[in-house]
Amino acid sequence: MDTDFIRETLDLVGDKWSMLVIGALANGDARYSDLDTTIPALSRRTLTLTLKRLQRSGFVERTSYPEVAPRVEDSLTALGTSLLSAIQHLAAWSSDHHTEVRRQQDRYDRSAPHSTRRA
């Protein structure tokens, strides 16, 4: 197993927002405002930067339509679509185990003084 490739991939899509954007685009093409509404905790600046990073890496493509009211939509590429099953598995695991993870974190935080306690 080449850990460099795994690290690179996680650097590309393992941040806080990329998987959510890819997941939101799983339903089809979306305008910027659609994504902004679908992921409300994501700031507009971060959404813009995330989309640009995903475009640069080939996961998302942007299409501009030459219409009187300009329309731009983002969509998953074949590469982005190929990542969906892994993201869906991770999302399912997270849904199944988030309570247990939180319980373990709370138990750890209560066990002894730690300098890594979260607020």
H or E segment at 76?
strand 71-76
H or E segment at 32?
helix 32-38
CA 24 – CA 33 distance, rounded (Å): 12
pTM recorded for the entire structure: 0.82
68-117 pLDDT, tens digit each: 888 899 999 999 999 999 999 998 999 999 999 999 999 999 987 765 55
The domain segmentation of the chain, as residue ranges, is: 3-80
CA 27 – CA 21 distance, rounded (Å): 11
59-77 pLDDT, tens digit each: 999 999 988 888 899 999 9
1-29 pLDDT, tens digit each: 788 888 988 888 888 899 999 999 999 99
pLDDT value at position 1? 76
Structure tokens at 66: 């030459």
> Class assignment of domain 3-80?
mainly alpha
pLDDT value at position 117? 54
Structure tokens at 35: 């994504």
pLDDT value at position 21? 95
Mean pLDDT of 37-44: 93
CA 105 to chain centre: 23
